[in-house]
Amino acid sequence: MAVELPPKNRHGDPSTPGGLGYFYIRILGPAAPLLLLRSDRLYSLSFSRRRGHRLRLLASPARRYRRRRHRDLLISTSGCALSLSHCFSTLRVNGLPLHVGSGGPVDLAVGDEVSLLLLGVRYGFVAEKFVSCERGEEVAGSCEEVIVLRAESLRKRLRAISESQDPVSFLRDSYCAHAGVKKVREEGGFLCQDSPINPVPEKNFRQEESDLDQGRLEHQNDFAKESAVSKKEDTVEMPQRSQAYTNDNMEHNKGCSDGNVEQHQTEGCYSDGSTFFLNRLSGIRPEMRTEQESGVTLPELLHPIGSLLRVFIATFTSDVSWFLEYCKIPQILPVTIACHNKDRCWSASRESRIASPFENYPNLLLVYPRFPEEIAFGKDRKKQGVACHHPKLIVLQREDSMRVIISSANLVPRQWHLITNTVWWQDFPRRTSLDYSALFSAVEEPKSDFAAQLVSFIGSLINEVPSQAYWINEIAKYDFEGAGGYLVASVPGLYMPSPCYLESNYCLSENRILHTKSARKMFLGSVQTSVVGLSHRFHMPSDAGSQLKSLSVFLGKCHENMHGTAEVILKRNTNIPADANAVSVLVADLDKFSEEDSVHLGFLPREVAKWVSPLSDMGFFEFSGFIYPREALEAAFGVTNTKVQLLLYVSKGPEFSRMSGLIRDEHLPSLCSLVASLKKSLGLWRLEEVLSRFKWPETLETDFMYSASSIGTSINSQFIAHFASATGKRANPDFDSEESDPEWGCWTARHELKKPSISLLFPTIERVKSSACGIQLSRFLLSLREKTWQRLKSTGILHDAVPHPHDRIGHPMHVKVVQRRFRSRKGGHSFGWTYCGSHNFSPAAWGQPLRPPPKANTTDATRAAPSGPRLHICNYELGIILIAPPPGVSKKGNGRVHRIDGISLPFVTPAPRYKHNDRPATPLAMREAMIEACIPQSIDLSEETDEDIADEDDELVVELSDCSPEEKEEEKIYAETLWGQVDSSQSQGKDT
């Protein structure tokens, strides 16, 4: 059992004798090596931008200043006291600056953090604990711990010998170093000046992870360096290393083993996609791990690096420099990283959507996906809500396979080394030839829609970066039909349910208006867009009155279908200089159509026409259009200034089957825009789409739990009921009822208030306080607002999140795991489904179902538009659903049936319900705990915060009327330019 230092010893004499023991100090930085100091020694800790941390054992206290360099910190240990002598103006203890003065000693206690800013680089360490081993005063269990640590040190040393290229020289050098200790100490010199740490090997003096050679310690601490040359506006400000240094350092560290074994791991890993795994934590000793519980590391997932063709990563926060160094990424490897930036992601400028801050990595590109204005709360552009780019996706392309990794960990070291996260991955084989049809498959089809979901999500991230569109083509080269799960994505936007297939009569053609009957088997999907230019056409010209009259006549004759829409005619305008891709929207009597006897309603938006036209011209796809007649008429008369909706129906073109041989690089951006724009079920609707394929018997349910690191501020019984209903939860156990009402048996807020449907797992404040990593690591990791807790307190829905397996207790969890489990009637194995990924339990992540405005406030415009349900999603998210179907039901797709018992959850089940006095680790509770423990709150870890948290008062109710998009100024200018050139060309045609 470890004995901690006294919490208060700030003014005592550091030389006071005390019990013999060892201090644990943890060097600051992503790799965070652990060093051990004997309690009756004097050490000098130096810092070097080139060589990192170097720890020397001084020979005599009497000479402690004589041989000390100006940049060294002097650490003296005596008894249970750890003292620090300083002479730096930038030195801070627990974030607070110290008075330099004479540089006198400062006593440190367990938990104290010492940091120093030197040459623009932050160095330092944390005093973790003190272990007493003094004879006659030792505490039960402490010497046992010493034996374990000695054994671990010996094991590490034996491994270093076996991995050495010259073991004999290694042993000889080690012996000489040890043999010369006594002589060096007597002469008052330094011990092992060329090595960072090699304390005296006397009896009871052990060396654990501090037994590192200089190269390895430098390698560990280079991760903590910050860049002075990175671009100021980038979210990632990391060092750029010279090629010579990087190559030398890699060569020097080949085969080395230190306290962070994972860093030098050379073995790969395998998964069939039927379950998920956990990341390997650096704080858990290897001998304590079992094969199933050891976890996986990032280098293992990327192994072998040499065979990678390209890498795509989506993350929220990122430490790109650490990733490049830790995973030994080659400098020429193409790497695309989509990440969050609160300014760039909301910028209207496309130039701000990318950055290339690493000169030594010319093929590495940072992408900042855009948030559409439609997701802002209300029409006020400043009310952006809680939107963030939050997925954790890695795609690794090799010649023979493509690996897809979905995690809950961001691309930062702390979340891969210190915090429990889930990791799912699967390898997919290469096809013999490209298959573009797989990119457009639907969930109801026999084959898996994994490829379609993956390409759609990646397309939404890179849609505005044409240079990255090749990813769409690369994904088409691999076979995803054997996927072990179903992808669930969230993409920011305001969505209506995807309309079912509607037969069309006219489709877009390059040369003429093409009359054709579209076949259902050719239908690929629909795109929600708009018609621009109505305000100019029907309000400005002198003949606006006659045009309005003609429009009224044609729209009155339109044959509206079951969805209330009517077909319009799309026409290519190849003779308009302002835009060679322009597409006109015409309204006419389709029964006896002639182009002269039609009304020009407007145009497709520029951003849509630029990909619709080339794909249509090449014959790859056919496009037909539908509008809401009344909505168009009211916009033309000026009743409303909102956009006129247009639904583009997409079908296979005559050259679709030959597309792999005809497509060129210049067509890939258009293809990317198409797959990103095709309507997909997202968030809650995607959850329902996947899980509704199976019947989940309510009476056999045993567990329904959700563990998340963040619970949304606007969580209430209504949203919880929406989520439960989307997963198949029903109020009426008679699931096979013939009741015709589609709402029959649906789980509602009334049912939720009466009997909570789900158990929310979130750690209590006591669990966080007892964490081995302390409160500060969880402070910016967990999010549950006090107001939300007070609202949920009486429901009994919250349960404590106890990590599993046992060796992970004390380490924070950052998992987002949902599982609903059922038991078989015949007493066989359990069945159900499990989700893991990036979705926290919030409307921002899953989507907020919107209600129509009250009838009293309903305008003619809102009645003209469809009044069905809509889903308001704020975040980019991605996860995977693993299904173990009910007995007798074969899992469609790859034919494999998973067992839910084979999935090991990262938390204890059943989760203990909150007791009467339990309180969740809300920000308020953690602040109060830090004040109580006298922990300064000035340390800012917000750059690693995984959640974009809204203010407690920022809980706006969004209604459909708040989300009606209006025509933008640039769209008006574009339409006016086209109108002028169309009218001019028509006049010239009449003259000739």
892 burial level (CB within 10 Å; 0-12, 13-18, 19+): middle
**Is residue 724 a contact partner of residue 755, using CB atoms and an 8 Å limit?**
no
Q: Determine whether the annotation assigns residue 392 to a binding site.
A: yes
| Residue in 814, 839, 872, 898 annotated catalytic | 814
263 burial level (CB within 10 Å; 0-12, 13-18, 19+): buried
Residues 6+ apart with CB under 8 A from 602: 531, 532, 533, 534, 537, 584, 585, 644, 975
Residues 6+ apart with CB under 8 A from 535: 635, 638, 641, 967, 972
- Which residue type, as a one-letter code, is found at position 236? V
Encoded tokens for 981:
């050139």
Tell me how far apart the terminal alpha carbons of the chain are, to the nearest angstrom. Answer: 99
How far apart, in whole angstroms, are the C-alpha atoms of residue 264 and residue 258?
9
Residue 894 DSSP code: T
Of residues 764, 766, 778, the one with CA closest to residue 811: 778
Q: Determine whether the annotation assigns residue 477 to a binding site.
A: no
How far apart, in whole angstroms, are the C-alpha atoms of residue 620 and residue 363?
31
Encoded tokens for 860:
């003619």
How far apart, in whole angstroms, are the C-alpha atoms of residue 795 and residue 414?
34
Of residues 468, 231, 245, the one with CA closest to residue 359: 231
Kindly report the three-state secondary structure assignment for every residue of 566-615.
EEEEEEECCCCCCCCCCEEEEEECHHHCCCCCEEEEEECCHHHHHHHHHH
Beta-carbon count within 10 A of 824 CB: 13
How far apart, in whole angstroms, are the C-alpha atoms of residue 341 and residue 100?
38
Q: Where are the alpha helices (DSSP H) in 692-801?
A: 717-726, 749-754, 765-769, 774-779, 786-792
**142-163 vs 167-179: helix crossing angle, rounded to 10:** 140
Beta-carbon count within 10 A of 21 CB: 27
**Is residue 452 a contact partner of residue 443, using CB atoms and an 8 Å limit?**
no
What are the C-alpha distances in Å from 276 to residues 66, 180, 405, 595, 691? Answer: 57, 52, 10, 58, 19
**Cα within 13 Å of Cα(186), Cβ side:** 5
Q: Where are the alpha helices (DSSP H) in 60-202?
A: 142-163, 167-179, 181-186
Of residues 321, 316, 270, 315, the one with CA closest to residue 296: 270
**Is residue 190 a contact partner of residue 184, using CB atoms and an 8 Å limit?**
yes
Is there a catalytic annotation at residue 390?
yes
Residues 6+ apart with CB under 8 A from 587: 551, 554, 555, 558, 568, 569, 598, 599, 601, 632
| Residue in 340, 390, 667, 811 annotated catalytic | 390
How far apart, in whole angstroms, are the C-alpha atoms of residue 371 and residue 392?
17
| Bridge pairing between strands 34-38 and 354-355 | unpaired
- Which residue type, as a one-letter code, is found at position 590? L
Residue labelled with tokens 């015409």? 586
**668-677 vs 606-617: helix crossing angle, rounded to 10:** 120
**Is residue 573 a contact partner of residue 978, using CB atoms and an 8 Å limit?**
yes
From the annotation, which residues make up the binding site?
392, 816
From the annotation, which residues make up the binding site for substrate?
392, 816
Question: Which residues are known to be catalytic?
Answer: 390, 814
